[in-house]
C-alpha cells in the first residue's frame, strides 16, 4: 500500500472553506493535529472559529470528503473544537516575541546538508554583527550539537528557563544536548509539539535579530506547529542540484506557501567542485548554474561548493566558517548571509 502524502492533504484542505468565515481551513490555521497510521487511517483535530459553531456537521462532512479523496486514505476521524473568538479577532500566540526575524530552514528530503547550512549561516550572520540564535528542531536526527562541538548540558536560570549554550557568537539549543549519543527519539506528534513549545517558550533566548530554526526533513507536524505559534518572517529551502532533490524541495516550498510563510529563496548545497590544481568549477550534480533557480521559481540565495573542509569541520565540531574562514566555502556562506540580511532589512 502506498504512503499518504501530507502535502496532498493540505492541498485538499486548503479548498475547504469554513462556513460563516469565508476562509480556507489551512489559511485559518485550524489544523491542530494530524495523525496518519500505516494503514492510511487519518485522525485529524480541527479548531473552527465561532462563526462555524452552528455548521460543524457541514464542516465535518467537507473535511471527510476532502481527505477521502486523497490517494491511499482509508478511514477518516474528525474532531472539531470551536474557538470562543470569531475569525478576524483570533490572536495567535507568538512564543518568541523577543526575536525580530525567525527563519525556518527546511528541505524536502534528508541528506542535502540542511543542518550544515543552518550552522554555518547562523555563525556567518553573527560575524556580520547580528544577534543570532539557532534552534535544532530536527528532533528525530539532531546534529547541531555535534557540529558546534557542544557536549555540556544547558543550565536553568532562576525563572526555570533553559539558558542556550553560546558558541561562535550564536545561542544554540538542541534536543541533542539532553540525550545520550545512542538514545533514539521515538515520539508521536503530541510529544513532539510539547517539546517544540518548550524549546521556544521555556528557553531564555533574550533579544535576537535572527532565530534560525533547523527543521526535520519533509512536511510534517513540526512545520505546522511553528507556523501556528511563531510569527515566522521567512523560510529558506536547502537542496542539492539533482532533480530528485529538487522534486522533494518543491513539496517543502509548497508547504511554506500554504502556511503563508514567505519563502526567501533557496540555498544550493554541494553546488559544484573547484579543482585544486586548475581552479575550474565542475558541476557534478547538474549541468550549469541556473538549473535550481529556474526549476523552483525562487531566487538562489547562495551556491555552496563541495569541499572536504565542510565534512571535517562538522566531524570535529568546528564549522567551516570558523575553522577555514578564508576558504571559498566560507566566503560562499558569508555572501549568502549578507543576502539574507539584505532581504530581511536588518
State whether 76 and 125 are in the same domain: no
Q: pLDDT band at 222, cuts 50/70/90? A: confident
User: Which of 97-106, 182-191, 279-288 is predicted least confidently?
Assistant: 182-191
Q: What is the CATH number of the domain that holds 169?
A: 3.40.50.300
In a domain, 1, yes or no: no
State whether 66 and 151 are in the same domain: no
pLDDT in tens, 138-167: 877 778 988 898 888 888 888 888 899 999
Q: pLDDT band at 106, cuts 50/70/90? A: confident
Beta pairing partners, 104 = 213, 235
In a domain, 87, yes or no: no
Among 170, 175, 70, 161, residue whose Cα is nearest residue 118: 170
pLDDT in tens, 225-246: 777 778 889 999 888 876 665 6
Residue that is last in its domain, among 19, 53, 82:
82
In a domain, 89, yes or no: no
State whether 159 and 17 are in the same domain: no
Residue that is last in its domain, among 33, 52, 82:
82
For 217, left (φ over 0), alpha (ψ -120 to 50), or beta?
beta
Domain span including residue 333: 99-344
Q: What is the CATH number of the domain that holds 34?
A: 3.30.300.130
pLDDT higher at 207 or 186: 207
State whether 74 and 115 are in the same domain: no
How many distinct structural domains can be found in the chain?
2
In a domain, 108, yes or no: yes
Number of H helices and E strands in the chain, helices first, is 12, 13
* Nearest-angstrom CA–CA distance, 212 and 14: 27
In a domain, 190, yes or no: yes
Residue that is last in its domain, among 51, 82, 113:
82
- Per DSSP, which regions of 42-188 are E strands? 42-48, 76-82, 99-106, 132-136, 165-167, 170-174
Mean predicted confidence (pLDDT) in 82-92: 66
In what helix (H) or strand (E) does residue 181 lie, and over which residues does it extend?
none
State whether 27 and 116 are in the same domain: no
In a domain, 92, yes or no: no
State whether 128 and 228 are in the same domain: yes
In a domain, 88, yes or no: no
pTM of the complete model:
0.70
* Nearest-angstrom CA–CA distance, 77 and 45: 9
* Nearest-angstrom CA–CA distance, 170 and 197: 21
pLDDT higher at 37 or 259: 37
Mean predicted confidence (pLDDT) in 307-320: 78
User: Which of 13-27, 53-67, 227-241 is predicted least confidently?
Assistant: 227-241
State whether 276 and 313 are in the same domain: yes
State whether 168 and 315 are in the same domain: yes
State whether 62 and 111 are in the same domain: no
In what helix (H) or strand (E) does residue 207 lie, and over which residues does it extend?
none
CB burial readout 205-228, b (16+ within 10 A) else e: beebbbbbbbbbbbbbbbbbbbbb
State whether 26 and 171 are in the same domain: no
State whether 240 and 326 are in the same domain: yes
State whether 54 and 158 are in the same domain: no
In a domain, 182, yes or no: yes
Amino acid at each position: 500500500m502506498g504512503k499518504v502524502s501530507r502535502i496532498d492533504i493540505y492541498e485538499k484542505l486548503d479548498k475547504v472553506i469554513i462556513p460563516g468565515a469565508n476562509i480556507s481551513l489551512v489559511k485559518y490555521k485550524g489544523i491542530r493535529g494530524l495523525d496518519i497510521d500505516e494503514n492510511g487511517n487519518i485522525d485529524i483535530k480541527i479548531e473552527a472559529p465561532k462563526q462555524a459553531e452552528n455548521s460543524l456537521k457541514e464542516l465535518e462532512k467537507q473535511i471527510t470528503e476532502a481527505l477521502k479523496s486523497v490517494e491511499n486514505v482509508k478511514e477518516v476521524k474528525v474532531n472539531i473544537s470551536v474557538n470562543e473568538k470569531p475569525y478576524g479577532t483570533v490572536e495567535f500566540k507568538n512564543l518568541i516575541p523577543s526575536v525580530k526575524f525567525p527563519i525556518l530552514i527546511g528541505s524536502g528530503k534528508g541528506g542535502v546538508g540542511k543542518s550544515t547550512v543552518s550552522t554555518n549561516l547562523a555563525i556567518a550572520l553573527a560575524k556580520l554583527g547580528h544577534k543570532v540564535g539557532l534552534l535544532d528542531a530536527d528532533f528525530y536526527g539532531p546534529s547541531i550539537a555535534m557540529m558546534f562541538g557542544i557536549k555540556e548540558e544547558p543550565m536553568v536560570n532562576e525563572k526555570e528557563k533553559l539558558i542556550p549554550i553560546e558558541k561562535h557568537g550564536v545561542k544554540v539549543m538542541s534536543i541533542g544536548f539532553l540525550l545520550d549519543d545512542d538514545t533514539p527519539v521515538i515520539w508521536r506528534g503530541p510529544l513532539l509539539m510539547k517539546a517544540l513549545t518548550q524549546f521556544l517558550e521555556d528557553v531564555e533566548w533574550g533579544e535576537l535579530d535572527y532565530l534560525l530554526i533547523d527543521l526535520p526533513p519533509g512536511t510534517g507536524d513540526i512545520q505546522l506547529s511553528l507556523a501556528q505559534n511563531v510569527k515566522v518572517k521567512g523560510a529558506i529551502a536547502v537542496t542539492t542540484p539533482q532533480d530528485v532533490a529538487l522534486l522533494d524541495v518543491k513539496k517543502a516550498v509548497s508547504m511554506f506557501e500554504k502556511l503563508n510563510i514567505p519563502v526567501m529563496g533557496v540555498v544550493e548545497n554541494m553546488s559544484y567542485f573547484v579543482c585544486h590544481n586548475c581552479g575550474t568549477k565542475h558541476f557534478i550534480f547538474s549541468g550549469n548554474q541556473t538549473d535550481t533557480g529556474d526549476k523552483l521559481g525562487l531566487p538562489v540565495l547562495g551556491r555552496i561548493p563541495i569541499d572536504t573542509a565542510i565534512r571535517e569541520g562538522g566531524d570535529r565540531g568546528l564549522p567551516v566558517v570558523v575553522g577555514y574562514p578564508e576558504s571559498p566555502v566560507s566566503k560562499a556562506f558569508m555572501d549568502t548571509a549578507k543576502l539574507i540580511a539584505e532581504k530581511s532589512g536588518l
